[in-house]
Structures are given as structure tokens and as C-alpha cells.
């Protein structure tokens, strides 16, 4: 293989030996496996919604044994990935203990988290007249999957586990079109109607009973840079949305200092980078809609008047 007098394989191999963030060959074994994390996400959804996700239950009396088996398998699947995420694999005794403690804590939070998810299902049922049953929401609503995975990833994010929470929410993002950073704080009864194109940033804080429609962005404004021209990391960059707020499709709310007051409604296609007091209605005053008769077409004219 030769291209312009040089072997592209040799030139590609040379880039592997150069320093840089994309070269991780010597330590690749310490990176968590995306496929393992994605399988764990599917297992977690089965734990949250037995009978709806994962293998069907033929008899409800099997549920205790099936649940214990799923928890055991999930523990075994996640522990080495957590050790890798900490950059220590094969893991030292200290890292093993750290991973074990984190997993024990995570598993202990699942019962309360499942109760929180039921509030999200309630919000979907009450907030969408097209929803005919809870079963339909659990089986068919993409927002529930995105919210469920984000709530679980958020627990690990708060424990400062690297990489894995982002892999989890990206799995949900790729399946649903809903991009929620694991760092976002989200209250109960959260509903995203339709959902496609929703983006919620890392430092966003969302209260209870908030409803978003598709293509809503809760994002950051322009980023501050340090003396070297590098973007400053951290800090509150995304808005706060208080209780009982509704945001309609294609609206964008930006900025860490932006607070959307409780019980506010933001109409569609709004661009907002300032705070709004409680009980507000935010919308653009549109031009008056005009409906007029079409111009009469010439006989035989088609496609805008052209004839073929």
C-alpha cells in the first residue's frame, strides 16, 4: 500500500506514538467498556420495570429470585468497569474496596429511585392526553427511558465516578434523541413530551412538576476563558427551572444565572437568556396570520406554473 510515495499505515502508526489525548494504547485495559455499560443500562431498566423490559416473567412468584439474580449479575458486570474507570485494572485491594462500596451505595438507592420514576410516569399520564395507560408509557415513551437512565447516572455522578455516568446517558441519548447530562438535578414528576432534540446541560437545576416539549434546550451561554485561552471548566453554566414550569417546543433557555420562576409558561420558539419572575407567560408577539385565496393557475399549468 503506497500513497504519494509513503505507506499510509506507517504514517498512521506514527500518529499513535505521538503524545495526545486520543492515544491511550498502553492503558486501554483501564478504560471501561462501552458495550458492558450499555448492557448494564438494559439490565437496570429491567430492574426498574420487570415484566416490561428484559426477559418476560412467566410467573410473578419468580420475581424475587429473578430480581436477586439480576442484581447479582449487574454487580458482577459493573464492578470491573468501575475499577477501570478509576484507572486501576487489574484492581488493587483499595480500588476493589472503593468499587464495592460505591456499588453497594448505588444498589441501595434503586428502591427510592424507582419510586421517583413512578412520579415521572404519573406526570406523563396526566400531562399527555394521548397516553391511554401506564403500560403504554413504560413500553413506548422514550422520555421515560432517558429520564430513568439519567436519574441512575446522576447517583454515580454525585459520587464522582469518571466516564461511566456519561456513557450511560449517551446510551439513552442515542436511543431516544434526548440528551440529559448526568450532572443535571431534576425534581419529581418530570415529563418530556415527544422529546426528540431536548438538551439539558450539566449544571441545570429543574424543580418538580416541570414539563418540556421537543427541541427544548437548557444550555450555557458563551464560555469564559483563562489567560491561556482555554475554556474554564466547572461553575454554574446552565439555567435553573423552578417548580411547575412548562416550556413549549423549540425554545432555548441559556445561562447559569438565568432562573425561570415557578409556574411560568414559556411559549414555542422563544430564545431566553435572562431570568423570568414566577407566574409569567413568555412569548413572541407574532404578526397577524394572513389567509388569502391562491392565484388562479393557468390551464394545464403544474408545479408552479411550468408545463412539461
State the cell numbers at 24.
491511550
Report, as an integer, the average pLDDT of 259-268. 97
Domain that holds residue 234: 197-285
Query: What are the tens digits of pLDDT across the range 167-180?
Result: 999 999 999 999 99
Same domain, 79 and 111: yes
Same domain, 43 and 141: yes
Instruction: Tell whether 296 is covered by a domain.
Output: no
> How far apart are alpha carbons 219 and 206 in whole angstroms?
13
The last residue of a domain, from among 178, 212, 243? 178
For residue 25, pLDDT over 50 is answered with yes
Average pLDDT over all residues of the chain: 90
The last residue of a domain, from among 150, 178, 206? 178
Q: pLDDT grade, residue 143 (50/70/90)?
A: very high
**Which single residue is written with the C-alpha cell 474554564?**
232
The last residue of a domain, from among 178, 210, 239? 178
Check residue 300 and give its pLDDT.
Answer: 59
Report, as an integer, the average pLDDT of 72-96. 94
Check residue 308 and give its pLDDT.
Answer: 44
The sheet carrying 271-272 orders its strands as: 179-180, 199-200, 217-219, 252-254, 271-272
Instruction: Tell whether 22 is covered by a domain.
Output: no
For residue 286, pLDDT over 80 is answered with no
CATH number at residue 108: 1.10.3130.10
Same domain, 144 and 225: no
Q: pLDDT grade, residue 223 (50/70/90)?
A: confident
Q: pLDDT grade, residue 294 (50/70/90)?
A: confident
> How far apart are alpha carbons 141 and 196 in whole angstroms?
11
CB contact at 8 A, 183 and 144: no
Check residue 307 and give its pLDDT.
Answer: 44
For residue 82, pLDDT over 50 is answered with yes
CB contact at 8 A, 249 and 214: yes
Q: pLDDT grade, residue 95 (50/70/90)?
A: very high
Region label for 263, one of left (φ > 0), alpha (ψ between -120 and 50) or beta (otherwise): left
SS (H, E, C) the chain: CCECCECHHHHHHHHHHCCCCCCCHHHHHHCCCHHHHHHHHHHHHHHHCECCECCCCCCHHHHHHHHHHHHHHHHHHHHHHHHHHCCCCCCCHHHHHHHHHHHHHHHHHHHHHHHHHHHHHHHHHHHCCCCCCHHHHHHHCHHHHHHHHHHHHHHHHHCCCCCHHHHHHHHHHHHHCCEECCCCEECCCCEEECCCCCEECCCCEECCCCEEECCCEEECCCCCECCCCCECCCCCCCCEECCCCEECCCCEEECCCCEECCCCEECCCCEECCCECCCCEECCCCCCCCCCCCCCCCCCCECCCECC
What's the chain's length in residues?
A: 308
CATH number at residue 238: 2.160.10.10
Same domain, 74 and 211: no
Query: What are the tens digits of pLDDT across the range 42-73?
Result: 999 999 998 887 777 667 788 899 899 999 99
Check residue 131 and give its pLDDT.
Answer: 97
Same domain, 203 and 130: no
Check residue 306 and give its pLDDT.
Answer: 42
Instruction: Tell whether 174 is covered by a domain.
Output: yes
Report, as an integer, the average pLDDT of 110-137. 97
Closest to 173 (Cα-Cα) out of 202, 150, 207: 150
Q: pLDDT grade, residue 4 (50/70/90)?
A: low
For residue 5, pLDDT over 60 is answered with no
Check residue 288 and give its pLDDT.
Answer: 76
Q: pLDDT grade, residue 23 (50/70/90)?
A: low
Amino acid at each position: 500500500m503506497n500513497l504519494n510515495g509513503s505507506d499510509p499505515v506507517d504514517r498512521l502508526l506514527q500518529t499513535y506514538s505521538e503524545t495526545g489525548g486520543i492515544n491511550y494504547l498502553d492503558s486501554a485495559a483501564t478504560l471501561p467498556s462501552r458495550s458492558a455499560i450499555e448492557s448494564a443500562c438494559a439490565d437496570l431498566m429491567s430492574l426498574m420495570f420487570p415484566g416490561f423490559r428484559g426477559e418476560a416473567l412467566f410467573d410473578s412468584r419468580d420475581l424475587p429470585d429473578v430480581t436477586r439474580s439480576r442484581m447479582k449479575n449487574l454487580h458482577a458486570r459493573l464492578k470491573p468497569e468501575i475499577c477501570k474507570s478509576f484507572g486501576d485494572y487489574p484492581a488493587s485491594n483499595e480500588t476493589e474496596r472503593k468499587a464495592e462500596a460505591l456499588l453497594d451505595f448505588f444498589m441501595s438507592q434503586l428502591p427510592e429511585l424507582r419510586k421517583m420514576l413512578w412520579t415521572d410516569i404519573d406526570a406523563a399520564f396526566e400531562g399527555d392526553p394521548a397516553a391511554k395507560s401506564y403500560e403504554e408509557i413504560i413500553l413506548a415513551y422514550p422520555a421515560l427511558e432517558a429520564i430513568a437512565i439519567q436519574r441512575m447516572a446522576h447517583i454515580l455522578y454525585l459520587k464522582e465516578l469518571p466516564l461511566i455516568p456519561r456513557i450511560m446517558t449517551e446510551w439513552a441519548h442515542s436511543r431516544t434523541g434526548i440528551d440529559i447530562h448526568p450532572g443535571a438535578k431534576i425534581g419529581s414528576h418530570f415529563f418530556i413530551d415527544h422529546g426528540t432534540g431536548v438538551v439539558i446541560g450539566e449544571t441545570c437545576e429543574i424543580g418538580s412538576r416541570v414539563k418540556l416539549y421537543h427541541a427544548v434546550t437548557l444550555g450555557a451561554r458563551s464560555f469564559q476563558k483563562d489567560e491561556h485561552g482555554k475554556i474554564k471548566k466547572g461553575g454554574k453554566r446552565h439555567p435553573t427551572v423552578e417548580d411547575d414550569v412548562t416550556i413549549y417546543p423549540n425554545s432555548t433557555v441559556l445561562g447559569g444565572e438565568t432562573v425561570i420562576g415557578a409556574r411560568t409558561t414559556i411559549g414555542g420558539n422563544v430564545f431566553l437568556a435572562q431570568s423570568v419572575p414566577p407566574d409569567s407567560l413568555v412569548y413572541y408577539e407574532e404578526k397577524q396570520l394572513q389567509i388569502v385565496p391562491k392565484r388562479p393557475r393557468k390551464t394545464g399549468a403544474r408545479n408552479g406554473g411550468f408545463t412539461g
